[in-house]
Structure 1
Amino acid sequence: MEKRVFVIGLGLIGGSIALAIRRAQEDVTIVGFEINEERLGLAKTLNVIDEGAVSIEQGAKDADLIIISAPVGQAEEIMETLVNIEMKPTVIITDVGSTKQQIMSKAIHLHKKGVTFIGGHPMAGSHKSGVSAARPHLFENAFYILTPEKNTPAAKIEELKDWLSGTKANFLIMSPKEHDELTGAVSHFPHIVAASLVHQVAAIDEKNSTISSIAAGGFRDITRIASSSPTMWRDILLHNKDTLLALLEKWRIEMDRVKDMIDTMDSDAIYSYFNSAKEFRDGLPVKQKGAIPSFYDLYVDVPDHPGSISEVTSILAKEEISITNIRIIEVREDIMGVLRLSFRNEDDRKRAQICLAKHQFESFIEM
């Protein structure tokens, strides 16, 4: 019996989930909705969806699964629209938002209507965006958090997992509050810190523009996440307000402690501070996908002579290894290698390192 999936929002995440469902489910029709008609047409051309819906109502009324793939602010508005639509009583609705408490509070109206809503958060992404970047393997081995209501039947949770089995993700079940606290600490708050560091350097740049050249090295790398979507992060901060305010207060206390250690010239305390942080950080899983998307970078030590970079890229091209980004590193403190190559995944990076070694190019992975 044919089933229908309705995906609202056909960007990287929505498109990738649609493709993952398609590769694992038989007899399924995937319907998409996008305000942007050009993106909707592209999704159909790329076989991400089978049909396009002209409205949310048209796509939702016969759907067995509805996936809201939109920023948290828009997701709330979509949920309000869905409340007023007659849907199948067996339908499951889920979202992909980075915050869950506020979304789940909106879901109360759907629950009163007898509709199952299970919050979702696939914790993976890419430096690319849009439906053309969608890949069925985007979420493989990543954490996919589900936040059902306390009274959600276990069978419904298992049904959603089955729908999403093609993602090959690791599913975790937790409460909306627990989700927001954990992702606030390991994802949302680091984005605030990264943006703050950039603002600090930008202020210095107004007085001395030389800092821009120096910051092109390691500083640019550790603040990469500050280049994320401002719209998305505005919504996340507003939706996870209480958690982030608490974290900011703890951060203020932490920085006061560091300030005191420096002010009192307490060398033992300073050493211990960095050493304990190093030990904890070095103990974190290396290969496991976490809250912040991994960067699969390889640093290559190339000689400074004409043609050396093109030689590296030619070697990889012959092996059909795709490079997503390439950059010459000018400031290389704590980094071995003058050339930074970025890859789509760990397998591509490993293959690149092996084939470059065969051609006597030394390369390093920063742990």
Structure 2
Amino acid sequence: MAGTDSRRGPVARGCVGIRETRHRLRASPVTCVVVTDAKQAVIVGVGLIGGSVGLALRDEGWHVVGVDLDSGRLADAVDRGVIDEIGSLDTLPAADLGVVATPADSVAELAQRLLDAGVVAVTDVGSVKAAIAGSIEDPRFVAGHPMAGSEQDGLDGAAAHLFSGAMWVLCPTSTTDDTVFATIRDVVKSMGANPIAIPADRHDQLVAVISHVPHLTAATLMRLADGRATEERALLRLAAGGFRDMTRIAAGHPAIWPDICVQNADPIVDALDELISELSAIRDVVSERDRAALLARLESARVARRNLPTTIPSTEAMSEMRVPVLDRQGELAAIATLAADLDVNIYDLEIAHSAEGPRGVVVLVVETAMTERLQGGLMALGYRPSSRSLEA
């Protein structure tokens, strides 16, 4: 029994299947059979991020199967057009893509179940990567982390455009299958995100500074203000844009944070120690009424804030690099990771396999200003890259 989703055209409510899947939605007496040739994705965990992935993939023509412990949420996801079909961990299809969007402590087990089911390419969206990447050695798995979110919980915050313009970290290893890495990278780009390859341990160190500690800091500042408000009732009424902007992320759902902080404890503690040291230093500056030192610190912060990357360069500022490689696992991951180490953003990437021998060519698009840096790094590793400007 097909319905109509005003946003997406005709859909089969809870019964669309890529392999003539039969499915009953709730207690409906009608069983539907729909056949489609669309690429199939399985999303385990249909909340804010998983739901947004589902919406984005459906916009790109994917057939999306949703799996979640909450049956009510799954039914809601079908009604909202987030997924096409309700699936089960016991009967996972051998889909083209698997995405695990659950709390960090369950990601490795669920990713392995997708791999065991024969899913071609599997990734996750967790905030901590080293523990997960280290526990899964299958070449079809690439740990991932979209740097995007919302203060709204669950499907209420899910949106197909959530990842538009966001960085999406991928953590390939030396055993990662190049085709799988390229596939997942292409999927990430199709959702509007900018993929970047970073080793898992380095990712965890970086996000401790730019994500985890900021959340803990915002929560702590909010608690400080709330505690003061019991004595000064007008305090929170005076909270203006700056305070609200700085504490906005404290409004996020707290349930995910204990797992994140436990799994990434060491980098978070290191970053907190550095922050405490910086706060102690500025406390001393204020205590000593040192106007010059205070101004210098604030000015350096202002300059750093203004220098945060914002936009992608135009095609006139881009160059294509071609890197001959041996046609073997790990080449793509090694090059992408080197680029991240050298602070070179890759805006497009593909690998051309040779039909005549064990060689291929990795094709990259990078900023022209960065080609010399990346070429030098590649040559130091024994590669022989060439480049050309994409300027018309």
Q: How far apart in 2 are the matches of 1:216 and 1:281?
A: 20
1:96 pairs with 107, 125, 129, which one? Answer: 125
1:36 corresponds in structure 2 to 70
1:56 pairs with 82, 89, 95, which one? Answer: 89
Q: How far apart in 1 are the matches of 2:225 and 2:38?
A: 56
2:264 corresponds in structure 1 to 240
Q: How far apart in 2 are the matches of 1:91 and 1:208?
A: 58
Deviation at 1:103, TM superposition (A): 1.5
Matches within 5 A, 1:263-274: 263-274=287-298
| Percent of residue pairs identical | 33
Aligned pair in 2 of structure 1 residues 106, 218: CA closer, same or farther (>3 Å)? same
1:231 corresponds in structure 2 to 255
Matches within 5 A, 1:298-309: none
1:16 corresponds in structure 2 to 52
Aligned pair in 2 of structure 1 residues 133, 254: CA closer, same or farther (>3 Å)? closer
- 2:289 maps to 1:262: no
2:170 pairs with 115, 123, 146, which one? Answer: 146
1:73 corresponds in structure 2 to 105
Matches within 5 A, 1:121-160: 121-160=145-184
Number of residue pairs matched?
276
CA contact (8 A) 2:188 2:195 kept: no
Q: How far apart in 2 are the matches of 1:253 and 1:133?
A: 36
Q: Which residue identity is paired with 1:12?
A: L
- 2:117 maps to 1:119: no
Deviation at 1:170, TM superposition (A): 0.7
Q: Which residue identity is paired with 2:49?
A: I
CA contact (8 A) 1:21 1:165 kept: no
1:7 corresponds in structure 2 to 43
1:87 corresponds in structure 2 to 117
Q: Which residue identity is paired with 2:47?
A: G
Aligned pair in 2 of structure 1 residues 226, 132: CA closer, same or farther (>3 Å)? closer
SS at match of 1:210: coil
1:293 corresponds in structure 2 to none
Deviation at 1:48, TM superposition (A): 2.1
1:163 pairs with 173, 176, 187, which one? Answer: 187
- 2:229 maps to 1:205: yes
Q: How far apart in 1 are the matches of 2:293 and 2:157?
A: 47
The answer to which structure, 1 or 2, has the higher relative contact order (CA under 8 A, 6+ apart) is: 1
SS at match of 1:120: strand
Deviation at 1:216, TM superposition (A): 5.6
Q: Which residue identity is paired with 2:302?
A: K
2:22 corresponds in structure 1 to none
* TM-score, structure 1 as length reference: 0.69
Q: How far apart in 1 are the matches of 2:177 and 2:297?
A: 46
Q: Which residue identity is paired with 1:269?
A: A
CA contact (8 A) 2:188 2:194 kept: no
1:340 corresponds in structure 2 to none
Q: How far apart in 2 are the matches of 1:204 and 1:134?
A: 35
Runs of 4+ in 1 over 6 A off after TM superposition: none
Q: How far apart in 2 are the matches of 1:149 and 1:252?
A: 34
User: What RMSD in Å do the two structures reach over aligned CA positions?
Assistant: 2.2
Q: Which residue identity is paired with 1:87?
A: A
SS at match of 1:250: helix
Q: How far apart in 1 are the matches of 2:164 and 2:83?
A: 20
- 2:266 maps to 1:252: no
* TM-score, structure 2 as length reference: 0.65
CA contact (8 A) 2:67 2:89 kept: yes
Aligned pair in 2 of structure 1 residues 107, 36: CA closer, same or farther (>3 Å)? same
Aligned pair in 2 of structure 1 residues 150, 86: CA closer, same or farther (>3 Å)? closer
SS at match of 2:258: helix
Matches within 5 A, 1:292-331: none
Q: How far apart in 1 are the matches of 2:240 and 2:307?
A: 28
Q: Which residue identity is paired with 2:66?
A: G
Q: How far apart in 2 are the matches of 1:163 and 1:277?
A: 36
Aligned pair in 2 of structure 1 residues 216, 276: CA closer, same or farther (>3 Å)? closer
Deviation at 1:73, TM superposition (A): 2.3
Q: How far apart in 1 are the matches of 2:300 and 2:189?
A: 39
Deviation at 1:286, TM superposition (A): 4.8
Matches within 5 A, 1:215-226: 215=239, 218-226=242-250
Aligned pair in 2 of structure 1 residues 169, 286: CA closer, same or farther (>3 Å)? closer
Deviation at 1:123, TM superposition (A): 1.3
Q: How far apart in 1 are the matches of 2:86 and 2:262?
A: 32
